[in-house]
Amino acid sequence: MAAARTRLIAALDTDDETHAASLARMVGPHVDALKLGLQFTYASGLPAAERVCAGQGLFLDLKLHDIPNTVACAVRAIAGAMRQPPLMLTLHGAGGVAMLEQARLARDEAFTAAGRPLLLAVTVLTSLDAEALQQTGVAGGPRQQVLRLARLALGAGIEGLVCSPHEIAPLRDMFGEAPVLVVPGVRPEASEAGDQKRVMTPRDASLAGADWIVVGRPITGAPDPAAAAAAIAGMLV
């Protein structure tokens, strides 16, 4: 499923279905998928996520992380709650091999072969730097932890990884072109980084080898979200 070019995902970070649907209509023609995460899903539910993204790929960013049986049951519940499966679904790589394997098996059982979402293992959140990781007991910095979790996830049969732009090149060097790399922490020049710590411009992330980039506030917070999405899409190779 690796992209021939880098594709753009717009993150619709809102808890309001009407607002999300309005943003989806504006940016939809200029992006390849739409991301809805915890904020929207807790407030509005999975059927609303399906409605907002009708006719467009849904990146369901729930970052599942629990004991193996609970995560497997959550994957089955998602399948039962949605008539149109999401394009992608996230899990935390730090959940461990058993959790990742059980999630994959549940995905394969609950979704038809033609409609199985791509499972993505989140490695290290883009809001974390070396100091923040060390505070949680993880030594060695983000790159080392990303590679460690990537090896674990890929060994468990997970097809894709979520990483910051700074880890694209090391991941490609170690694992080649096979893993699908979905990359948040992407900001156009002159955009505020916000709570992102490890960032890169859209073009640089594309040149580094990202299959997909995720951009939120620089699109949805722009005076003209459609124009902002179109401009970022035009930076990708």
**Residues forming the active site:** 63
Q: Token pair of 57, please?
A: 């790929």
User: ∠ CA 63-67-73 to the nearest 5 degrees?
Assistant: 75
| Contact yes or no for 99/139 (Cβ under 8 A) | no
- Cα(113)–Cα(107) distance, integer angstroms: 10
88-92 vs 58-64, strand pairing mode:
parallel
Q: What contacts 165, CB < 8 A, 6 or more positions away?
A: 183, 185, 186, 198, 199, 200, 204, 205, 208, 210
- Cα(88)–Cα(62) distance, integer angstroms: 10
User: ∠ CA 229-232-234 to the nearest 5 degrees?
Assistant: 110
Residue 118 φ/ψ, nearest 5 degrees: -70, 125
